[in-house]
Amino acid sequence: MKEDCEVFPIIVPVEYGLKTINFFLVRKEKRLLLIDAGIDDELCWGALNKTLNENGFSIRDITEIILTHHHFDHIGLVNRIVQEHPIPVYASPLSIKRLKRDSVFMKNRLAFYERFYQEMGCGELGKKQIQYLNKALEKNKHQALQCEISPITASTFQHFSVLEIPGHAPDHLAFWDKERNWLFSGDLLLEHISSNALIEPDENGNRLQTLIQQRDSLLKCLKLQPEIVFSGHGQVISEPNRLIQLRLERIEDKAERFYQLILTGFSTASEIAETYYKKTYLAQFSLVMSEVVSHLDYLELQGKIKKKQVKGIWHYSAMATHTAH
């Protein structure tokens, strides 16, 4: 017999491209789990309390918080909930330094981006972004989680299988309810937009190949053939397999477009970004650079392009094409 289980989605509309901030109360037998915790604002706090009240619960009934990844729009209410009602908080072992905003880790991360933008030929724009990140370091200090965070391992939960799905974030996890074939997958898959494979360093400061990770994570989820995907933004996804296929196809299409630009002679990631995205390159600099460089990694992996450093800047070029027989 299936164990008793109910999901109460908390869906908070926002005016920007993400459409909504989603997090989920999941009642499993006598436990009431909170998967993710929205943004730290009154809208999310109000929505959480409303959903609790409507279903006969209060904050005090939540038994634990589980985080899919460390981004601020998924962890916002953790401090507030735990202050009122101290309960365990679980996250990937890779999330902990990020959630605590560990000062050494954050400084190294900043140094990583400084070098990254330099090497990708971003010049002044890169320097501006570093200034912005430097300020954000100070400004967002309050976002650090104050509570103890328990690292999730494969055996932490009886109710869910834990899947590592890096790509959008290095610490990204999904929680799979095998019995119902439901997947709580944070920002891996969104109904209305494709999730950005944000450039990030690993624990040792090496650049992760985030799109290649994202693609592997999508393939991992496709294998499960989930029936419903509860995602971090937008609608709950009722035909996830079709959507995963679309996202995989989009990766191929995008990579091909950048490949064509390289064939026409654009060689640095910043040139490709500026040419392809025009004004968006300025407006959404870090997202655009992630998009371009992560796809270039994928083209490199496929053996279609190679890169060489000239005066400290990476230049990409096409590999000699095989002649057709």
Apex 126 CA angle, 125 and 127, nearest 5: 90
> Is the Cβ of residue 187 or residue 271 nearer to Zn ion in the bound state?
187
Amino acid identity, residue 253? Answer: D
Least separation in angstroms between CB 185 and Zn ion: 11
Binding span for Zn ion by CB under 5 A among 66-74, 159-167, 174-182, 257-265:
66-74
- The piece of 34-42, 67-75, 156-164, 221-229 that touches Zn ion (CB under 5 A) is 67-75
Q: How far is the CB of 135 from Zn ion (least distance, A)?
A: 22
> By CB under 5 A, is residue 73 in contact with Zn ion?
yes
What is the nearest approach in angstroms of Zn ion to the Cβ of residue 168?
8
Smallest distance from Zn ion to CB 243, Å: 17
- What minimum distance in Å lies between the beta carbon of 29 and Zn ion? 29
Using alpha carbons, list the distances in angstroms from residue 304 to 254, 296, 317. 14, 9, 9
Report how far residue 100's alpha carbon sits from residue 289's, in angstroms, rounded to the nearest whole number.
26
Which CB atom, from 23 or from 316, has the smaller least distance to Zn ion? 23
Sheet of 161-164: strands edge to edge?
161-164, 173-177, 182-184, 228-230
Binding of Zn ion by 187 (CB under 5 A): yes
Residue 188 vs 296, nearer CB to Zn ion: 188
In the complex with Zn ion, which residue's Cβ is closer, 35 or 299?
35
Residue 60 structure tokens = 């005090």
Nearest approach in angstroms of CB 22 to Zn ion is 9
Count other C-beta atoms under 10 Å from residue 173's C-beta. 25
Q: Which amino acid is at 68?
A: T
d(CA 75, CA 124): 33
Could you tell me the smallest distance in angstroms from the CB atom of residue 232 to Zn ion?
A: 4
Q: Which residues of 281-315 are buried (b: 16+ CB within 10 A; e: fewer)?
A: beeebbebbbbbbbbbbbbbeeebbebeeeeebbb
Q: Which stretch binds Zn ion (CB under 5 A): 43-51, 224-232, 254-262, 272-280?
A: 224-232
142 contacts: CB under 8 Å, gap ≥ 6: none
Note the helical H segments in 27-102: 42-54, 72-75, 78-84, 96-99
Among 76, 166, 232, 234, binds Zn ion (CB under 5 A): 232
Site string for Zn ion, 134-173 (x = CB under 5 A): ----------------------------------------
Residues that bind Zn ion in the complex, under the rule CB under 5 A: 73, 187, 232
